[in-house]
Amino acid sequence: MTKLPLNPYLPSWEYIPDGEPYVFGDRVYVYGSHDKYNGHVFCLGDYVCWSAPVDDLGNWRYEGVIYPKTSDPYNRDGSMCLYAPDVTVGPDGRYYLYYVLDHVCNVSVAVCDEPAGRYEFLGYVHYQDGTLLGNAPGDEPQFDPGVLTEGDVTYLYTGFCGHGDRGRHGAMCTVLGPDMMTIIEKPVFVAPGAVYSEGTGFEGHAFFEAPSIRKIGDTYYFIYSSQVMHELCYATSKSPHEGFRYRGVLVSNGDVGLENGKPKNVPDAYIANNHGSIVEIAGEWYIFYHRHTNGTWYSRQGCAERLKLRDDGGFDQVEITTQGLGARPLPGKMKYPAYTACNLYLANAPGRFGDGCPKIVQDGRDGDEEIGYIANVQNGMVAGFKYLDCKDVGTLTVTTRGYINGEFELRLSPDGEGCGRVRVHGSNIWQSFTADVDVPDGVHAIYLCFIGGGGGHLESFELK
């Protein structure tokens, strides 16, 4: 099971949001910020890196800490957090890491000779007179750098546009010279914030944060988190610093915008901020994004889905799933941990977010390699797993603990008829319960819907 691609794609005890994926050699590397389990704010950890073979996307390897947060001269005491980073390969073949600290409006740069080695602080992005980007008259604060290097120049994309903030106009592109830090073309705006989006084509999906940049053929793809926060959108242009046109939504971490057996604008997972990008791996395109766990905004986990590049260069919005990076539906007869649920909500309050709702948690403290599970199981909870290839399935086993008394009904759609029920009762330890079910052969979404009283935990389910 450790080799089977699942969402989240990293272990359930790892919290790496804001994923920027790249293929270097025969491996895909993911760079992101680093949340903590039970963290009280975003991005409390050092930068770490994970990688996987391009032909085995379920086999992720921990590369270790690549950049401690105390490496920046502004942050020797570690009092500031490392926000979402990005990496690019410079004209000298070295790897350059760009980031912003949470209380500083400048862009920092670190460098390394290999993709996942220990990066060393290099300096700050600056104008030719030495003034730091973000400090010059007319500069807007820098945030969430995304970078793309072509030849001797690097395009740096930054920005954050809070709701109603007229002082921030949109996403910016700044051109850097071959030393990877000196500005040779000052910032220009490439995508508007919500306040300035009227008449631009970005209305309703204007830039909020999380700029990322990719190039496919002769076209630049600007990926970003929109004003509604839970979705990653994209715009395209033939130029890296002008003419971007809004193209659509890539993914919503609550599947808002997709029907999937529910009303189009009703979320079937907890929606909050989002950040990620696209990558081509072995000829297939993927979108990396993050989800929210622990009933807060501050314990986010990386997920990924397969995209299809249309003939016109566009992408359709993709559905969030459990199978994630996998090319095929998951085996139907298998045991799955509950934390792999791609849909999780209360039937009478979809999208509600907080401690009282069902949520994905773990035992122990941050860093403890404890398998995640669903807590706050209660009447009306729906947990969805997509997609399983079922054949000759006749029993369902669920493993629970806590003070619950009721039944898990297995459905193939959120409000569909049940295929069977498993009765459970309270237990102080993990205990398994089994019942017969009647699942037709075929590829299905599997929904476990709890009907009953009390509250407890769901560790896993198994179909046989």
Q: Which amino acid is at 122?
A: L
Q: Where are the beta strands (DSSP E) in 126-206?
A: 146-150, 153-158, 170-176, 183-192
Closest CA to 343 of 312, 364, 374, 309: 374
User: Tokens 């007869």 belong to which residue?
Assistant: 333
Distance CA 351, CA 175 (A): 40
Cα-only R_g, the chain = 22
Catalytic residue among 14, 20, 140, 209: 209
Specify the DSSP class assigned to residue 106.
Answer: S
363-397 in b/e form (b: 16+ CB < 10 A) is eeebeeeeebbbbbbbbebbbbbbbbebeebeebb
What is d(CA 123, CA 76) in angstroms, rounded to the nearest whole number?
14
- Report DSSP letters for 5-63, one per residue: --SSSS-TT----S-EEEEETTEEEEE-----TT-SSS--SPEEEEEEETT-TT--EEE
Cis peptide before 95 (omega within 30 of 0): no
> Is-catalytic flag, 209?
yes
Q: How far apart are CA 119 and CA 100, in angstroms?
A: 15
Return the residue matching tokens 């297939």. Answer: 284
**Active-site amino acid positions:** 18, 209
